Structure 1
Amino acid sequence: MRERATYGRPSHEFGMRVGSLLVLIWLAIGMIAAGQRNYFVIGPINCAGFGTIALTAVAGPLNYVGLNPKLSECGDLPQPSE
């Protein structure tokens, strides 16, 4: 019985793990930046507040080089039907 060749597979898995780790570190730095700006304790929490937190988290380390994303309003959200 012949064994299957697994050329490139270990390096692909390693790359996926490293990429996932980098994304988690990037988002963690963004959440730290949001915490330092007191976005989690300032009220009231609304759509713009959640959007600002999400933008800050996604911007990650760019927050520390001057990027300060903020969302002023979310627009008109559809209302549920009655």
Structure 2
Amino acid sequence: MLLLVWLVIGAVAAGQRGYFSDGSEASCATAVTVVVTVLAGPLNYVGVNPQVDCDLPQPSQ
């Protein structure tokens, strides 16, 4: 039950930051940032603002 409440609080924080309603195209960094924000849960309200930058390798030509 505690885990569910933790994740719901994280999802609310992500929603308040506009991650679910942002009209920009999805990217690796955006998706991972949303996941990390949800996993951070209530820590979002004490100053944690996870931002993830991921670079995927390009296929060889």
* TM category, shorter: 0.7 to 0.9
Structure number, greater radius of gyration: 1
The Cα of 1:75 is off from its aligned counterpart by 2.0
Higher relative contact order (CA 8 A, sep 6+): 2
Task: Measure, in 2, the Cα distance between the counterparts of 1:63 and 1:27.
Answer: 11
Q: Paired residue for 1:58, among 39, 47, 50?
A: 39
Unaligned runs of 5+ in 1: 1-20
| C-alpha spacing 1:32/1:78, structure 2 compared with 1 (3 Å) | same
CA distance in 1, matches of 2:20, 2:57: 23
Q: CA deviation at 1:76?
A: 2.0
* Residue 7 (structure 1) aligns with: none
Q: Which residue number in structure 2 is paired with residue 76 of structure 1?
A: 56
Is 1:34 aligned with 2:34? no
Q: Structure 2: which 5+ residue stretches go unaligned? A: none
Q: Number of aligned pairs? A: 58
Cα distance, 1:49 vs. partner? 0.7
Moved over 6 A (4+): none
